[in-house]
Structure 1
């Protein structure tokens, strides 16, 4: 058979056309079909030629247009998923059950079983002891200082500390575990029977009501593995600095039934561990990782048994926890409704994905061959040590959040954000600014003001205006965890505490406008006020003070705004329901007509109310 010319092959592959000569054409067009991908994407039209014979024509869809249409469809589906996220917490006829395992790196200077220093940013393989590499003859030596942050974490989660715990070997072979086993606590862990209560203000799913309590089955000490660094050419480098870094594994009971509540639980754990100084960093920097076990069963199942569970490994963000649970729940339900069955297995998740993927079959106790470690004796914890640490962790995030809401007048949502940002140092910065601003206001008025009068202003700027700064200015490298260089004691290198307090003092006293204050904050952040002598000096130098309109000028502006608005004024005199929207329409007109830099919207509204009351004869 002669070779098919490229042009003929191209016509067939791209358009489904066959050459008129040769054996392929002689069998007849009716017995042949275009490639399946053409059938799926391009409709085939049959037309009559000049000699009466029929021919097929497949309209060509340009690749660029096809990709553009697919992108539009994905965007449409994404918007649909966002609008339905609130309702994605449940599926009619099915019950979801989730258990979570959280691995957190402890805040210690030494590794768990060797005197080598814990290191996260130093040169690779610069802090490695003989035992870390499993050199023959090297023995594990428990480092007592690693116990303190683990106890603080366990007590913060209301666990019972076990007076005697023991270490076990969990056997598996992988390149990041040189000994071929991991030392953990499987049979007799450090702590048991804890719990954590999540409230509605934490952001749990509405279906959980005002609160939900999640049980903590156990907390165990264990060692971390080496860090794998992928390289070009399918090569991997190993950094053994992380081998032996102390971890705690927090294992919950299967008592979570909504994806959002599971995500809130992980966020609350991260906040608690940071508050008691137990965890070295959060999920975003790799210091905390979550594995979730997902199962589904039909609502009203009378057997009392949970469905077959699958485990999703190494979720590294709060959002990934919720999204992965939803995806796996939907996959299992679809499989069961199609008549299939769920296989116990370990699955993975990629950020931005819509489906989990199979990694391997699920290992069990037999696969890991758990056995007591013969080289390590029991770990004994005395009652007096537990009592001492329990007293030091009495001030937990829920208590602090209550104080921020009740005493400082901050919304629960803003309070949670302040406590969570920058690994907890943002809230310390907030306290420092509030203290300096309160002192300045007291010096001016001669009396102490209620915190609720000015603390919400500070919170708003530290949360929202600082967030805009980080988006606006991307020119300078960010060497700190915080884009603002906030230190653990609440000081800031980019926007000093005293400078922000001075700026907000002028805002609170209405001596400068919000627009001017935002420009000054950006200048502070970029280091542009260093030569001007500070915030107040910069305002003086550029005459940025707020020169508000006089009472007479407000009156004239009100009159101008009311011209030609007789129909709007009738709404105030003829209806029982107060037309707030009409009033704000008139105030907005005032702001457009007058000099915006000299108008206080609150005083503008007062002037408009007063004038309408005079004209309409009713209280507005």
Structure 2
């Protein structure tokens, strides 16, 4: 790594901490976001270097070219895939893609920017306008609906990564240029946020959108998405908050800065809020980095080595046709007929956490929709929505996670048409839910034991017969009475019976029913046990 020394100081302000930090109407919060998003292109923005998603853990300076390290005489060559990704995001946000945009040089010297300037779009950005809609229904904000406006989107190159090491004399900085020249989209919102819920909802929705479009991992933890906050209170000067590594830091920093400014206002110290300043986040407080007087003059100028980006109208309209159905539309579809999913379940099929390798939201949603369609052909449509939801989203997915089987593998032995047949067995009560859980786990466990190599489709009838899982629909009354009497003898005493019969502890009946279901392996319906226990114990309530 490259090495150089750096010294700095931080000015601190003491603030009385309030964990709840209420936002008061007489101190109106006005907030906007600047979000830098790394694009997941194959190559970097202006070179053929690999754009590695693991660059932070790879060997330092491994993914670099002569241009990335600013070797004299090297020239940029624009990666058109970055233009495609930027256009997809702009159109998904309903932004106006400019037919002509340009690259500019933002001059400053720092070790992780070896060119002495950063290529960005200052004068003529890639796109302007647009919005993201937040709603009470889908995002949990207090307002029924709120649009967060977009000022602009611009393409720029990322800088390298600095790693600081303290020594006895100074701070030594090690520079890794793996990230240098990685393509970024900088999105700047209007100052439309007025509370924390809106900020959290926007970040989550935007993060999911870039994943949904397959243009970025959107991970805050790895730096693939980085957020700066601009805020003011009661129209005082704007304060920019930087160095916010994750959502919790963003929220905590906003709360802290809000309270700090409120205390300055109530204490009559508003003079310090008259000039814009930039503050950093230490993890517990905001600290002053620079004020208006110390703002860097970046000396922007058009980049003489890069031509304008000229986009023909048919190019923009062509890319627009590539935009998939957007997450909000998908969720509303899933929450309405014929699926009737809850918001929580709809989000499981729509929001990609990007942290679970067992499945992704698109593959799982496709599997669910295909299975639902196949199942609907096999049974009456009325009342058929609940089984695919509970058994795919909860039981099936839970088993895959427990056994660490990727969905792509599991689909080979349980394709939608086969899983629909399994659901039909539950629908017509050939097997009980308890038996169904045992059968499903057994099939997946055996598949796992074969190292996911045994692709033979399971024979449900044979397995049900082999393990005696067939539901008992016609129960012999005398045998059931004896079975229930044994359970009562094993698990109750006189006090238990008195409390149950009197209705003092009605939940005790559920306990007995649960014992019956467990010992019968779920082959006898819970309603049969309830009826028989009430009959034996003479329960009138």
| TM superposition score normalised by structure 1 | 0.68
Q: 1:118 aligns with which of 34, 51, 55?
A: 51
State the SS of the aligned residue for 1:315.
coil
Q: How does 1:589-600 map to 2 (within 5 A)?
A: 589-592=512-515, 594=516, 596-598=518-520, 600=522
Q: Say whether the 8 Å CA contact 2:432–2:471 is kept in structure 1.
A: no
Change (3 A) 1:453 1:335: same
1:225 Cα deviation after fit: 0.7
Tell me what 2:247 maps to.
318
In structure 1, distance between residues paired with 2:268 and 2:243:
30
Task: State the Cα deviation string for residues 558-603 of structure 1 (Å, max 9, x = none).
Answer: 78769875676566xxxxxxxxx965442223324x3624265994
Change (3 A) 1:582 1:608: farther
Q: How does 1:299-318 map to 2 (within 5 A)?
A: 306-318=235-247
State the SS of the aligned residue for 1:130.
coil
* Structure (1 or 2) with the greater helix fraction: 1
In structure 2, distance between residues paired with 1:454 and 1:372:
57
Q: How does 1:398-547 map to 2 (within 5 A)?
A: 398-406=328-336, 407-423=338-354, 426-434=360-368, 437=371, 450-461=384-395, 469=402, 485=406, 491-492=408-409, 498-499=413-414, 505=422, 508=426, 509-510=431-432, 512-513=434-435, 516=438, 520=442, 523=445, 527=449, 543=467, 545=469
Q: Say whether the 8 Å CA contact 2:481–2:532 is kept in structure 1.
A: no
RMSD, matched Cα: 4.3
Change (3 A) 1:183 1:140: same
Q: 1:159 aligns with which of 95, 100, 112?
A: 95
Q: Say whether the 8 Å CA contact 1:106–1:279 is kept in structure 2.
A: yes
Q: How does 1:76-91 map to 2 (within 5 A)?
A: 81=19, 88=21, 90-91=23-24
Tell me what 1:95 maps to.
28
Q: How does 1:257-296 map to 2 (within 5 A)?
A: 257-296=194-233
In structure 2, distance between residues paired with 1:312 and 1:518:
51
Q: 1:397 aligns with which of 315, 318, 327?
A: 327
Q: Say whether the 8 Å CA contact 1:167–1:185 is kept in structure 2.
A: yes
Please say if 1:247 is aligned against 2:178. Answer: no
Q: Which runs of 5+ in 1 are unaligned?
A: 1-77, 298-305, 474-482, 572-580
In structure 1, distance between residues paired with 2:334 and 2:195:
28
Tell me what 1:148 maps to.
84
Q: Say whether the 8 Å CA contact 1:162–1:190 is kept in structure 2.
A: yes
1:288 Cα deviation after fit: 1.1
Change (3 A) 1:554 1:201: farther
In structure 1, distance between residues paired with 2:507 and 2:340:
27
Q: How does 1:317-336 map to 2 (within 5 A)?
A: 317-336=246-265
Q: Say whether the 8 Å CA contact 1:98–1:294 is kept in structure 2.
A: yes
Change (3 A) 1:544 1:497: farther
1:366 Cα deviation after fit: 5.9
In structure 2, distance between residues paired with 1:166 and 1:116:
23
Higher RCO structure (Cα 8 Å, ≥6 apart): 2
In structure 1, distance between residues paired with 2:298 and 2:306:
19
Please say if 1:238 is aligned against 2:238. Answer: no
Tell me what 2:116 maps to.
180
In structure 1, distance between residues paired with 2:200 and 2:150:
16
Number of aligned residues: 496
Q: From the CA coordinates, give the structure whose radius of gyration is larger.
A: 1
In structure 2, distance between residues paired with 1:613 and 1:595:
17
Change (3 A) 1:536 1:309: farther
| TM superposition score normalised by structure 2 | 0.77
In structure 2, distance between residues paired with 1:530 and 1:116:
36
